[in-house]
Amino acid sequence: MLAVRSEDYGGVERYVAALELKSRLFRDALGGDGARGLDLRTARTLCAHMATVRRRVGSYLEPSKFEPLRTAIADLLDGCGDTSAADRRVADFTARFPDDRAHRWVRDLAAELLHNVDPERYPLMMRWVWDAQANTGVIREVWHGPEVDNMVIDVPDRYETFLVLREELSQFLTQHGVYRDLPHYVDLLTAQLYANYICEQGGAYLRTDFSAPEDPMQYTRRLLGLDGVTPDGRIRLKALDGQAVIVETPKRTN
């Protein structure tokens, strides 16, 4: 289904290449000690490529609040090659922000940053993949069992859970002849699974973030942040006044 839907828009390979470019953008900006010197312009551009946070993070991308955010990001990514403390790393990051519904996106920000900087070590871990508190996400869509729609799936939203999901989806893809760029192909498959849910079940929350699709891959692109920058340079990031922000995309280093 994913291959068929993407055929009219350049094929799956085009999306895999786009995901690699996005990851390179994050690595160039935040890899090594880059996060310590992150500037506001670059931060805004990166956030435009994170659909789960770009409509909510605006107040923290103002000069008066940016320094604490930059420090939190730098600490999150410091030593992130060690995945044994992945859950503690995310918890420490979220603890820097208010613990209320208005800041539930903070966990998504941590997950997006870790995954985009190091997709090999960190699978997709956003709430749309699995949110144990809300009992929703991709895991529900692939869970086997009777009356799945009416049951509470007792699975924690921890690093290990997301890693197991990626391993199972990777096995599915290899059984169907996909052997290269598996992390990116898994991302596409994961997003497509949830895109199907949005199309079939989209409630008020989903409609707020995802308007009616213009093509079969629109939700998939949006979930993965591949629609972050429009052709005219306008990024999909909302400022405090509700207006879109326009910045230049940071240049990549070789």
pLDDT digits (tens, 9 = 90+) for 109-167: 999 999 999 999 999 999 999 999 999 999 999 998 777 878 899 999 999 999 999 99
pLDDT for the residue 90: 98
How many CB atoms are closer than 10 A to CB 78?
12
pLDDT for the residue 183: 94
How far apart CA 27 and CA 56 sit, in angstroms, is 23
How far apart CA 50 and CA 108 sit, in angstroms, is 9
Q: What is the residue extent of each domain of the chain?
A: 2-246
Name the residue among 26, 48, 39 with its Cα closest to residue 235: 48
Residue 93 near residue 72 (C-beta atoms within 8 A): yes
**Which tens digit of pLDDT belongs to each residue from 56-115?**
999 999 999 999 999 999 999 999 999 999 999 999 999 999 999 999 999 999 999 999
Residue 233 near residue 182 (C-beta atoms within 8 A): no
**Which tens digit of pLDDT belongs to each residue from 161-213?**
999 999 999 999 999 999 899 999 999 999 999 998 888 765 444 555 555 55
pLDDT for the residue 24: 94
- Per-residue pLDDT band for 250 (boundaries 50, 70, 90) equals very low
Tokens for 116, please give them: 């985009």
